[in-house]
Amino acid sequence: MSSAVRSLLAIAVLGASAQAAWSQGLRDRDAAIRGLLARAQGLATEIARQDSVVRREQHRERLATRFDAGAVTVILPVSVGNATGRRFAAGAFQLLDSAGVIPWPFVQSRIVVAYAATGVDSVVRAERLERRSRIMADISAAPDSLADGLLAAAVLGNAYLATLDGEWRAWLPGDMAIGWSMRREGTGAARELMAGETRAGARCLGGSVADCRLWLGLDRDSGESRYQPAEIRRVLTSRWGTWVGRGLIGECQAGSDDACEKLVREGRWLQAIPAGPVSRGSLLNAVCRLHGSEALRRALADTSGSVGERLARGTHLSEDSLVAEWRSWLLTGGGQSPVTADLRDAVPAVLVAALLLLAAARSGRWR
């Protein structure tokens, strides 16, 4: 066999060997890839299974559950637990009962529903609550029974406020004074009155019932009659400093009385009623505490006349008598009697004071 033939045979053998090795490599690589794909598919299946388990558990924890207290019905996720759910509903009921502003039939016709709850429709059908209106509330799946109870009461208050006429909607505080307390809001209301930021407020503090009505915005006065232009400028300066704004604010601060009055009418930079929401809420609470919640509810159901006239009719008092009563109630911290002492109680204190004065007079520092 010639060398050329041997060379050709060698080349052929080498080529066949290389082809066989290449084919085996492809088979090995395909097998490895198939193995990796199988593992990936297995992992994906396990992840999907675990995710499904988690979703089912989350769905189970968020299933809607009904809780009641008095006239209040709330639907919360089952995860809150029975004890927390009952405290939550009871807290909302107590706040509404204390405020006395919302008629119970209105509360009984509504359901407060947490956004976090699922399967609400099934619960509503099962509990035969289809005729009640739902009020959605941003209540967490783990609510604070006190804070979120206030939230549930507040959303009911907002819903009731929307049913009232324009006179009430313009005057009432946005929270309907639900959750108002003498210790907290009462102190703020008394402080606002004593600040004397406006002439009406200062004269009300001094005992002028007519100015109290003006300060509280009880009559149908135009907004600017409750402020003097100089007071408007002073209020703007106290709230915004010496900053000079554009448009009406700048013109008012520059001395234009007309611009100041227009600012009040607009109501964007300065509310038309000098008394703030907390102070107006104090009047609602005074009516409720002194005359009962029914008197307040009668006034809120009234649609004739000014706010002051409606409250007066609800309490069966004259408007001036009602306002004088409110002023005394607020400034005495809810009608608390001042501390008094007769002469017999005062004698020991006088003797102690006399002894202290005598000791001080004999001291070398006082000679």
Same domain, 119 and 154: yes
Same domain, 72 and 205: no
- The β-bridge partners of 71 are none
Same domain, 203 and 280: yes
More confident residue, 141 or 367: 141
SS (H, E, C) the chain: CCHHHHHHHHHHHHHHHHHHHHHHHHHHHHHHHHHHHHHHHHHHHHHHHHHHHHHHHHHHHCEEEEEEECCEEEEEEHHHCHHHHHHHHHHHHHHHHHHCCCCHHHHHCEEEEECCCECHHHHHHHCCCCCCEEEEECCCCCCCCCHHHHHHHHHHHHHHHCCCCHHHHHHCCCCCCCCCCHHHHHHHHHHHHHHCCCHHHHHHHHCCHHHHHHHHCCCCCCHHHHCCHHHHHHHHHHHHCCCCCCHHHHHHHCCCHHHHHHHHHHCCCCCCCCCCHHHHHHHHHHHHHHHCHHHHHHHHHCCCCCHHHHHHHHHCCCHHHHHHHHHHHHHCCCCCCCCCCCHHHHHHHHHHHHHHHHHHHHCHHHC
| 354 within some domain | no
Edge to edge, the sheet with strand 110-114 lists: 64-69, 72-77, 110-114, 133-137
Same domain, 71 and 118: yes
pLDDT exceeds 60 at position 15: no
Same domain, 72 and 107: yes
Same domain, 153 and 274: no
| 340 within some domain | no
| 348 within some domain | no
Q: pLDDT at position 358, please? A: 40
User: What distance in Å separates the CA atoms of residue 87 and residue 104, rounded to the nearest whole number?
Assistant: 19
pLDDT exceeds 70 at position 343: no
Same domain, 39 and 99: no
Convert the pLDDT of each residue in 100-155 to its tens digit: 999 999 999 999 999 999 999 999 999 999 999 999 998 876 777 667 789 999 99
| 193 within some domain | yes
User: What distance in Å separates the CA atoms of residue 287 and residue 311, rounded to the nearest whole number?
Assistant: 8
pLDDT exceeds 70 at position 256: yes
Please choose, from the candidates 328, 317, 277, 314, the residue with its C-alpha nearest in 3D space to the C-alpha of residue 100. 314
pLDDT exceeds 50 at position 306: yes
Domain range for 188: 182-227+270-331
Q: pLDDT at position 248, please? A: 79
Distance of CA 16 to the CA centre of its chain: 84
Same domain, 295 and 327: yes
Contacts of residue 165, Cβ cutoff 8 Å, sequence gap at least 6: 303
Q: pLDDT at position 55, please? A: 55
Average pLDDT over residues 186-199: 91
pLDDT exceeds 60 at position 12: no
Tokens of 79: 């995860």
CA angle 273, 279, 285 (to 5 degrees): 125
Percent of the chain with pLDDT over 70: 74
Indicate the burial class of 366 (C-beta count within 10 angstroms; 0-12, 13-18, 19 or more): exposed
pLDDT exceeds 60 at position 340: no
Give the number of domains in the chain: 3
CB 310 within 8 A of CB 302: yes
Same domain, 78 and 125: yes
CB atoms within 10 A of CB 181: 11
| 221 within some domain | yes
| 235 within some domain | no
Same domain, 324 and 190: yes
Average pLDDT over residues 50-65: 64
Same domain, 68 and 81: yes
| 159 within some domain | yes
Average pLDDT over residues 346-362: 39
Q: Which of 59, 76, 111 is the last residue of a domain?
A: 59
CB 73 within 8 A of CB 111: yes
- The β-bridge partners of 76 are 65
User: What distance in Å separates the CA atoms of residue 320 and residue 317, rounded to the nearest whole number?
Assistant: 8
| 124 within some domain | yes
Same domain, 152 and 138: yes
